[in-house]
Amino acid sequence: MTRLQGHLAYKMGDRYGMHPDDGEYPGTLIIVEGIDGSGKSTQIDLLQKWLNSRNLVTVFTEWNSSPIVRRTTKRGKTEELLTPMSFSLIHAADFASRVHAQILPALRAGATVLADRYVYTAFARDSARGVNRDWLRRIYSFAVQPTLGLYFKVPLDVSIQRINAGREELGYYESGQDMGFSNDREESFRIFQGRLLDEYDAMTEEFGLMTIDATQPIAVQQQLVRRYVEPLLEDAMAVRGQSLPEALGKAGLSGRYIRPPMSRRPTEQEVADL
C-alpha cells in the first residue's frame, strides 16, 4: 500500500466502519462522486479506456444497477411509492449486492475496480431527504474503503444548464419532488441539487475526497485524474497477452455483474492522445 493509499484509506474508513478485507486484497478501488451534470461518468469512462489501453484489468460498477432490486426500484419510481427511508433501504440493498457479488471478488482477484458513485451518493441524497446521517453511516458500515475517491465539483447553475441540455424531462425522484420542495419540477430540482452540493461539500473533509474542478475542460480534468491514479498502478493486474474476458475469466470474474460501461463517446486512441 502506498503512502497515498494509506492516508486515503484512513480518512475514508474512519467514519463509516472497516470491512474485514480492507487492506488485504491486491486490487484497487477508484470511485467518482458528484451531483448530476458534474461529468463524473465521462471521466471514469475515459479513465477506464486509458487503463485498458495499458492492458490493465478493470471492472466497472455503477449505482443502482444490481438486478436483485432493479424491478422493485423501477416499480417504486413509476408508481411514486417510495418514501425517503424505503428509497434509502433499497439503495443499501443494491449496494450490498454489488459489493459482495462484484466489487469484493474483483478486488480479491487483483483487478482495478471503477465505481460510478459509491456510498457517498447515499450519504448525500438520503441526508438531503432527511434521513439521519449517523444512521446512514452505520447502515453502510460494511462498505469497502476506496483506494481513491474523486469528487467532481460543479456550480449549481452549470449543473442545471448541462442537465437541461442533455435530458428532455426530469424524473419525479431525480428532481426531489417527493419531498415537496416545489410543484415546479425544475425549481424542485434546483433546491434538491443545492442540498446535495451542501452535503458533498461537508463530506470532502470528513472522508478525504479529492476535489476536482468540474468546470475545467474535459481533457484537463482527465489529466488530473490520471495523475492521482498513476501511483496506484504499480502492482495492478494486467491482461498479459490475453483478451480482457479471458483475463477476467481466469481470475474467476465473469457473468452479468462484470461488464464495461454502456455508452461511450471517445475512442481509445482519443483517450490515449489526451
Q: What is the pLDDT of residues 27-60, one digit of tens each?
A: 999 999 999 999 999 999 999 999 999 989 999 9
Reported as a single tens digit per residue, the pLDDT across 131-145 is: 999 999 999 988 988
CA angle at residue 137 from 4 to 20, to 5 degrees?
A: 60
Beta strands at 112-116 and 210-213: parallel, antiparallel or unpaired: unpaired
| Domains defined for the chain, CATH in brackets | 3-245 (3.40.50.300)
Residue 104's contacts (CB-CB under 8 Å, 6 or more residues apart) are 21, 25, 144
The answer to whether residue 1 scores a pLDDT higher than 50 is no
The residue-averaged pLDDT of 210-219 equals: 96
The residue-averaged pLDDT of 1-13 equals: 48
- The continuous run of DSSP H or E covering 184 comes out as none
- Residue 120 near residue 207 (C-beta atoms within 8 A): yes
Q: What residue ranges in the chain does DSSP mark as E strands?
A: 28-33, 58-62, 112-116, 148-153, 210-213
Break the chain down into helix, strand, coil percent, rounded to 5.
Answer: 55, 10, 35
| Confidence band for 200, pLDDT divided at 50, 70 and 90 | very high
